[in-house]
Amino acid sequence: MATIEVEYRGCKGNILSLPCSDSELGQKLESSKILITRVVHPEGLSLLKDALVSVDELNFLAKVMEGYDPDRETQFLAGLSIARDINMKDLINISLNTSHYTVIKDCSDLSAAGERHLKNLGHAALTMEPEEFVNAGKGLLASGRGVPTEYGLLFENAEVPVLNLYDGHHLPWYWCRDEIVASVRMRYEGRKDYLYLPVENATIHKALARLECPDLSDCSLEIDKYSFRGERWKGHMDSVFEKEGLHGANQLAEAVCLCWRRTNELLLVAEFAQAKGSEDIKRLAEHIDDFVVLDHAKSAVDVAQYFVAHEDGYRVDSYAREFVDFQQMGESIITEREGQFAGDGFVCMEKGKSLEQIMEAPSPGMELTM
């Protein structure tokens, strides 16, 4: 769902919906700037009407807003409603500093008002008593600092100053979407920008343009943050980034996103297949359903019990299970399916599948101009 929708000069009746990918923007627009003639949604951004804006800045703002919950969106739009003479730089900075504002819609609910305010101030609500919320709500409303807006009573929190995270030239670091594997910091002649892997060519070219850097090889690249919680995936990414550069790291990130809800399975499959690099892992990700992956299986008995419960050819009636040698059955399955214990689990091939065929199959991948 779009978070920002606008009409711009030359496209009457044709609405630009954001956020969208940089390649989509390139297909839709011929210029890096547009003159907004109408703000369709949200109405709170109507201050942009008749403004000439950078499409990249507007798209970045849409990505930030996409991550808002209803409270944060209300805080942002209420903050904008009292702002005067702001440009896109100011607008983006406000969007990244929503905790500077507290909005109270129902002044009769002191507890909810106090809890919302304390949350904006960075207090851990779970450790506080109910009367503390009530007292905080009373104090806030009694302060007389509230400004009536169409969104509710707005309070600016001096305890949470607005940070100028955006300098008007280089977009700040911001985890704009869920399926980001790692962020890469780009540096060139004292300037910096960020890529969020996996990334497309158009995004890389735009980042280079913002840095005024002639070629990717001319700038310094380093992994800034990971979405991985475990050290094993970080180790894979670090190794690939060191040996294969941005192209390899990007290909590995693509592989992880193909198995976003099954990253531990992919990790076990990669260790089972003794993957040598990003291309191998990408190919394995494309064929993840050709593997049986058992998290935390430690023995042949564990393997046999899984197959008895999940595969028709191995099912045993409950009354007969006490007569089954699960150790022997598990060993037979491991041999038949070319299985191995890898990492903290077990991996084998699905019936009729071959690891050799998978590793020899072509992998389309994402073309990345270096």
pLDDT in tens, 115-163: 999 999 988 665 778 889 999 999 999 999 999 999 999 999 999 998 9
Q: Could you give the CA distance from residue 114 to residue 140 in angstroms, rounded to a whole number?
A: 7
Residue 195 contacts residue 204 (beta carbons within 8 Å): yes
Across the chain, mean pLDDT equals: 90
Q: What is the CATH number of the domain that holds 298?
A: 1.10.10
Question: Do 220 and 307 fall into the same domain?
Answer: no
Residue 170 lies inside a defined structural domain of this protein: no
Q: Is pLDDT at 367 greater than 70 in this prediction? A: no
Question: Do 103 and 63 fall into the same domain?
Answer: no
Segment 225-257, tens digit of pLDDT: 998 777 888 988 999 999 999 999 999 999 999
pLDDT score for 176: 80
Q: From residue 186, how far is each of 73, 117, 204 by CA, in Å?
A: 30, 37, 10
Residue 367 lies inside a defined structural domain of this protein: no
Q: Which residues contact 201 (CB under 8 A, 6 or more apart)?
A: 23, 367, 368, 369
Classify 30 as helix, strand or coil.
coil
Please state the domain count of the chain. Answer: 4
Q: Could you give the CA distance from residue 160 to residue 157 in angstroms, rounded to a whole number?
A: 5
Residue 137 contacts residue 108 (beta carbons within 8 Å): no
Residue 363 lies inside a defined structural domain of this protein: no
Find the mean pLDDT for residues 312-337.
83
Q: Could you give the CA distance from residue 9 to residue 62 in angstroms, rounded to a whole number?
A: 20
Question: Do 206 and 232 fall into the same domain?
Answer: yes
Residue 360 lies inside a defined structural domain of this protein: no
Residue 359 lies inside a defined structural domain of this protein: no
Tokens of 117: 């305010």
Residue 358 lies inside a defined structural domain of this protein: no
Burial level of 276, CB count in 10 A (0-12/13-18/19+)?
exposed
Domain range spanning residue 262?
Answer: 178-287
pLDDT score for 2: 76
